[in-house]
Amino acid sequence: MLDLIIKNGKVVSDGSVVSVDVGVKNGKIAALGANLNGAETVADARDFYVLPGAVDAHTHLAMPFGGTVTADGYLSGTRAAVCGGTTTVFDYAIQRKGGGIVETVKKRREMCETEACCDYAFHAAITDLGESESLLDEFDAAAAYGITSFKTFMVYKKEGMMIGDGMFVKILKRAKETGILINVHAENPDVIDANIEDFRKSGTMTAYYHYLSRPEFVEEEAVKRAIHFAAAVRAPLYIVHLASVGGVKAAEAAKRDGHSVYAETCPHYLEYTSDVYKRPDGVNFICSPPMKGPKSRDALRKAVADGLIDTVATDHCPFKRSEKEWGKDDFTKTPNGCAGIETMYPYMLSLANAGKISYPRAVELCSTAPARLFGCKDKGGLHIGKDADIVLYDPKKPFTVSAGNMHSDGDHTIWEGLRLKGYPVKTFLRGKLVYDNGEYVGVPGEGKYIKRAKFSCQ
Ligand code: URP
Ligand code: ZN
Ligand code: ZN
């Protein structure tokens, strides 16, 4: 006897769409076939797509940043995630000066134990190697604990998060030896600071100058530098939140040359351009890297469709409207980051619905590829034996995004007013219904920590 059968849907997995029933037992996919029978619960998915839950490989929940803390903690952030069809999040645990990697992650994991509404993993963000670079000796222990990817920041000097090139290369080398994938935020900090200094002198500090302080070449140079170092020491590299046409070209060239370089972008770079910073609410869009010009947006759209971009993630990092307003006359005072955890999968699926990408491609970008790259063997597809993280998507359901119909603790969203055709109607987390037609119906704390495997995609 199965626990759940999802009947009559179009199942998207492994690059194809097939009409098949899905059977679930003990939280796992237990059967795939025509006319399955014999379950406690039957969900009719006629006219719906049946998809693996999204794996959002980039979030910042309960993160102290920019003089405050992100508006979503683990409870509200993961609640919002499942309401948008995301069943796994990868949060960034920031290791601070003197702190250990496992110690940092353990503290975050404790918070999740009572709060998480979906499954979760952590990337550690390395900001300091400690005395005698002792942190390098902790990489093995971190991998054994299931932390098999680290983020490094080439920016955020004054926030104390930036690492220099020398440290970056040391981290790459040690990561390669220990099966860890390095994620990099690539922007050139000195050029940004020089631009800000000039704008301050000329008294031009409104939101649009945030973009002008970090134009396309600022990311392009850093992406090239990061790839150069990774290729030189033959370490794999994952570039987070890629936003510029030059960065896309650099990643493309590296892949062509056979380097293990992976690229992530975010829905906001696919939808918006730097024009958003000219809007009266421009500060709300301040994030780093900023939205760029139309050439970058178009190059990213093409790269998403063509296969050059490996993953789409949110970089969910929301701040309250009043906090974003801190920078209305001086953009450097606005905490960087925007909301997206609940809108990513609906947005990417709406591209599939509109024929801009295929459904299998949307699933590959948002679920299968991040699960594979980051060592989550039970996630990312609808195969027998995988976790039954399942989304029913109604391609006809109209939905207009508004802060009021999101499930986050944020009080605004950069996606306000976006009209989507198609929306998730049910989300199952390991076979249990957690989202039902607009309502969160799960229990906080039921999300589980994912102990990840070492990187092995080379
Ligand atoms: O503006 C952003 N992206 N804030 C979050 C931190 C980061 O750089 O990912
Ligand atoms: Zn970043
Ligand atoms: Zn981020």
Q: Whose CA is nearest to atom 2 of ligand 1?
A: 337
Distance 239 CA to ligand 1 centre (A): 13
With 0-12 CB in 10 A as exposed, 13-18 as middle and 19+ as buried, what is 37? exposed
* Strand ranges across the sheet with 28-33: 28-33, 21-25, 2-7, 39-44
* CA nearest to 415, candidates 266, 300, 295, 305: 266
Tell whether ligand 1 has an atom less than 6 A from the beta carbon of residue 125. no
Strand bridging mode 10-13 / 49-52:
parallel
- The Cα–Cα gap between 180 and 135 comes to 14
Ligand 1 binding pocket includes 70 (Cβ within 6 Å)? no
DSSP E strands in 154-271: the ranges are 181-185, 237-239, 261-265
The answer to whether the beta carbons of residues 328 and 70 sit under 8 Å apart is: no
Span 78-92, average pLDDT: 99
- Tell me 238's DSSP state: E
Helical packing angle, 189-202 and 216-232, nearest 10°: 160
In the three-class reduction of DSSP (H, G, I as helix; E, B as strand; rest coil), residue 378 is classed as coil
Q: What is the mean pLDDT of residues 196-203?
A: 98
Q: In the chain, pLDDT over 90 holds for what percent of residues? A: 97
The residue whose C-alpha atom lies closest to atom 8 belonging to ligand 1 is: 288
What is the share, in percent, of the chain residues with pLDDT greater than 70?
100
Cis, peptide link before residue 346, omega less than 30° from 0? no
Atom of ligand 1 nearest to the CA of 336: 1
422 pLDDT above the threshold of 80: yes
Is the distance from the beta carbon of residue 9 to the nearest atom of ligand 1 less than 6 Å?
no
Beta-bridge partner residues of 50: 11, 392
Query: Which ligand is the nearest neighbour of the Cα of 185?
Result: 2
pLDDT, one tens digit per residue, over 321-331 is 999 999 999 99
Given the DSSP bridges, would you call strands 68-69 and 64-65 parallel, antiparallel or unpaired? antiparallel
Q: Is 183 in the pocket of ligand 1 (CB under 6 A)?
A: no
The per-residue DSSP string of 94-110 comes to E--TT--HHHHHHHHHH
Question: Is-contact 47 57, C-beta < 8 A?
Answer: no
Q: What angle separates helix 74-83 from helix 101-115, to the nearest 10 degrees?
A: 60
Residue 306: exposed, middle, or buried by beta-carbon count in 10 A (0-12, 13-18, 19+)?
exposed
For residue 70, what pLDDT band results from cuts at 50, 70 and 90?
very high
The alpha carbons of the chain give a radius of gyration, in whole angstroms, of 21
* DSSP strand pairing (181-185 vs 149-153): parallel
pLDDT for residue 458 is more than 60: no
Determine whether the shortest distance from the Cβ of 59 to ligand 1 is under 6 A. Answer: no
Residues having C-beta closer than 5 Å to ion ligand 2: 185
Cα separation, 205 vs 29, whole angstroms: 53
Q: What is the pLDDT of residue 205?
A: 98
Residue ID of nearest Cα to ligand 1 atom 9: 315
Q: Is the pLDDT of residue 137 over 90?
A: yes
151 Cβ inside 6 Å of ligand 1:
no
Predicted TM-score (pTM) of this structure: 0.98
Mutation pick for ligand 1 pocket among 149, 239, 241, 291 (CB with most ligand atoms within 8 Å): 241
Ligand nearest 338 Cα, by number? 1
- Helix, strand or coil for residue 225? helix
At 457 the pLDDT is: 76
Q: Whose CA is nearest to atom 7 of ligand 1?
A: 288
Enter the tokens of residue 403: 């802060």
Q: Which atom of ligand 1 is least distant from the CA of 155? A: 8
pLDDT at 159: 87
Does residue 66's CB lie within 6 angstroms of at least one atom of ligand 1? no
CA distance 350 to 47: 16
Mean pLDDT for all residues in the chain: 97
pLDDT at 213 over 70: yes
3-state secondary structure 382-440: CCCCCECCEEEEEEEEEEECCHHHCCCCCCCCCCCCCEEEEEEEEEEECCEEEEECCEE
C-beta of 287 in contact with ligand 1 (< 6 A) = yes
- Mean pLDDT of the region 224-241: 98
Beta-strand (E) ranges in 53-105? Answer: 54-59, 64-65, 68-69, 86-94
- How far is the C-alpha of 190 from the C-alpha of 158, rounded, in Å? 12
Q: What is the mean pLDDT of residues 450-456?
A: 97
User: How many whole angstroms from 53 Cα to the centroid of ligand 3?
Assistant: 21
Q: Which numbered ligand comes closest to the C-alpha of 65?
A: 1
> Cα(88) to centroid of ligand 1, in Å?
19
- Atom in ligand 1 nearest the alpha carbon of residue 286: 1
Q: What is the pLDDT of residues 283-309, one digit of tens each?
A: 999 999 999 999 999 999 999 999 999
Question: Which of left, alpha, beta for 253 (phi over 0: left; psi -120 to 50: alpha)?
Answer: alpha
Query: According to the model, what pLDDT value does residue 39 have?
Result: 97
Q: Which residues have CB atoms below 5 A from the ion given as ligand 3?
A: 315
Residue-wise pLDDT tens digits, 343-382: 999 999 999 999 999 999 999 999 999 999 999 999 999 9
Measured from the CB, is residue 315 less than 6 Å from ligand 1? yes
DSSP code of residue 85:
T
Q: Is 317 in the pocket of ligand 1 (CB under 6 A)?
A: yes
Q: Ligand 1 pocket test: which of 291, 336, 338, 414 has the largest number of ligand atoms within 8 Å of its C-beta?
A: 336
Spatial distance between the Cα atoms of 291 and 273, rounded to a whole number of angstroms:
5
Q: Which residues contact 439 (CB under 8 A, 6 or more apart)?
A: none
Please state the atom number of ligand 1 nearest to the C-alpha of residue 288: 1
